[in-house]
Amino acid sequence: MRKLHKYYKILELDKILDQLAEMTCCEEAAEMARNILPFNRLDKVKAELAKTDGAYVLSSRFGTPNFIRFKNPEADLMRLESGASLNNRELLNIAAIYRQCRILGEWKDHCEQVQTALDSYFSNLAENNYLESKITDIILSEEEIADHASPELANIRRKIRQNGLKARESLEKIIRGNAQKYLQESIITMRDGRYVVPVKAENRSEIPGLVHDTSSSGATLFVEPMSVVEANNEIRVLLNKEKEEIERILAELSAECAQYTESIQNNYRLILLLNLYFCKGNLAVKMKAVLPEVTDDGYTCLKKARHPLIDPQQVVPIDLELGKKFHSLIITGPNTGGKTVTLKTLGLLTLMTMCGFMIPVADESRISIFRRVLVDIGDEQSIEQSLSTFSAHMTNIINILRLADQNSLVLVDELGSGTDPVEGAALAVSIIESIAKKGARLVATTHYAELKAYALKTPGVENACCEFDVTTLRPTYRLLIGVPGRSNAFAISRRLGLEEDVIQRAESYISTDDRRFEDVVDQLEQTRQEFEQEREKYRATNAEVNRLKAELEQKNKTIDNRAEKELERAQAQARDLVERIRGQYNLLLNEIDELKKQKEKTDLKELAEKARSQMGSRINKLYNEANPVRERKQEEYQLPRPLKVGDEVLIYDLNKNGTVISLVDKKGMVGVQMGLMKTRVPESNLRLLESNTTKQKQSTVRKVRNNAQRKVSTELDLRGCNIEEGILLVDRFIDNCVLSNINQISIIHGKGTGLLRKGIQSHLKRHPSVKSFRLGTFGEGESGVTIVELK
């Protein structure tokens, strides 16, 4: 285990744990954070990650709960169990633990019952508001007990104040009287808890009393005059009583706390755990980390992984895959190109996951846990200082080969370096094969061309490289899997100004096979870069197309919504206008009927019929003019047969169904009834609704919300209205009730002179929607109410 801890330190897990410790609420929680070790069981890792994710979710939605600072009460609780008493500070620490439980409980109550893996921790917290309040009410600070802690303590302190006041009054007389000339200063002070005055040494005999102290120079004596000795003695006795009473109060409080030692210890442990998980959640927010998919099958696929210890403004995300198509990954490329950073990123993120941390990767990333993470990276390697060392540690490699198995992840930096290149390359190949036979997952970095060729021709081994921009002589830190890297020594030398003949002579020393291999790698790299450029262009074009498409769809949706609202608004206005005219029309007819009853003259009857005809024509014309619907473009359509009265038809430009009530006239107009409304429509604007034709046409009708669908009362109160107003209100009321499918209504007109009742009932006789009506019975309003049954 000690060796494994060494590997954890090489991967800098300790720095992550230090960051976590700095966020905790107390030293004990910080120590727990620093002592976290990776779990190698999948169920345990998933359980830890679920708790971290629970804290992350709760903090993101409701904020992090407040954690206060307190001490470990373990030693104090052991003393309580043995019957000892605690002091002010120790009791206040217990109160702080209970206060923390209350804070966490109240915070969780405001979390809208969001369920997480931390619920059991919250539910097991045991609050004790009584004990918390009693401790904080009695103990004001680490040095002070409240006067009201007990009646006896309050009485003792009152007597102490009274005797102190008496002593000061006596001393005030001395320092303001004739004895003032014998004093060094006219002040009252205390020595050993007793009131004294500073007397000049040469005047000691002038003020009789007890000397309690002398100044360093000997010129001043602190004398307790005999007149205050009794008061001081009483104060001293009272102070002893006060001490005894405080000890009794603390002993009583301690005895009460002793009954809850187990609860206090459990609360303390739960608080530390909750604090630790919420710190993990806050660290995930700081790192912009997510919860990856976790397995133990050895397959890791990290997307946009970032090393958490590198400045977020400078870190370059990498994509890395291992354990599915290949078990070993050989990373090549120039120095300071990011090879070692890649090793540490994979190793550290694996360990963080095993410790229950969320990791800085993109969504849909997958990571495997291992029983062992074995590392061979230079001791002086420091990610934060961007330094690299390439020392080979054969002793470490031997230990790795001894420990590695199918549940191991092996990370080796500069495999086989530090010796003769030929021997080093051969040794590196042999080590890779040995690790592969053990079933371990391997990621290694190297400069050897032999390892590039070995990875190309060996199943289960894959090349990768850290990209390098030759034009700027700077690495891009991007990891490219499936592409062998180049050292770029000649290219870099040319850019730096090395003479061409020197470079050419150096190139001639390279074997033909090696040159051919490097040329193939170079061509492959050029092709890859061209493909990357084309892919970026395609992505940009595709993103622009998607943006324009979404924008167009949004505009179309807005236009459709606006048209729908305008149509509904215009139709509502038209209906209101028609209803107003209908009311005036009915009012006029009623007036004519009244005249007809009074004088049965032929000319008046003709006048009424003529007025009725003219008014009906005017209403139809007004409705047509007020209709906001614009004529739609007519499609070629021919009626399958002549229309008949009673045929169901579709009024094309209105998208409304109606019934034919009169056949086509000379002007090509057909009488159609839509609900309660009658109108005349051009025959060319009608579509016959029969069998298949009906289904086809109805499928094109857009549904428009009926504004009449609203709550309607079944009673109408007309008391106080004249006949004209009453008839207008009755028409509107009946129309609304018919649209709302109400069968019976009550019209309250009152008894009075009976004129309003007669006018309303006369109008009801002619109303097309009224089936019958009667006066109310006993309990319904009798003759003051008309009960109407609608069709």
| Sign (positive or negative) of CA dihedral 381, 384, 385, 387 | positive
Task: Return the closest-CA partner of residue 309 out of 341, 282, 355.
Answer: 341
Residue tagged 């056949």 (tokens) = 663
Is 339 annotated to bind a ligand? Reply is: yes
HSE-CB of 95 using CA atoms within 13 angstroms: 22
Q: Where are the alpha helices (DSSP H) in 599-641?
A: 602-626
Q: Is 64 part of any known ligand binding site?
A: no
Contacts of 462 (CB under 8 A, 6+ apart): 325, 326, 328, 329, 330, 455, 481, 482
CA 405 to chain centre: 42
Structure tokens at 58: 């709760």
Cα–Cα distance, 616 to 613 (Å, whole number): 5
Any binding-site annotation on 333? yes
Give 639's contacts (C-beta < 8 A, 6+ positions apart): 683, 686, 688
Q: Annotation-wise, does 209 bind a ligand?
A: no
771 is in an annotated binding site: no
Is 335 marked as a binding-site residue?
Answer: yes
For 788, phi then psi, to 5°, come to: -115, 130
With CA atoms as reference, report the closest residue to 623 among 576, 658, 668, 666.
576
Instruction: Answer yes or no: are the C-beta atoms of 770 and 791 closer than 8 Å.
Output: yes
Q: How far apart are CA 337 and CA 465, in angstroms?
A: 9
Planar angle of CA 760, 766, 768, nearest 5 degrees: 115
- 526-530 CB contacts, 8 Å cutoff, 24+ apart: 528/480, 528/483
Angstrom distance (rounded) from CA 298 to CA 145: 63
Whole-number Å distance between alpha carbons of 749 and 736: 19
Name 246's Cβ contacts closer than 8 Å, sequence gap at least 6.
Answer: 145, 149, 153
Tokens 């990610």 belong to residue: 383
Known binding-site residues for ATP equal 333-340
- Binding site: which residues? 333-340
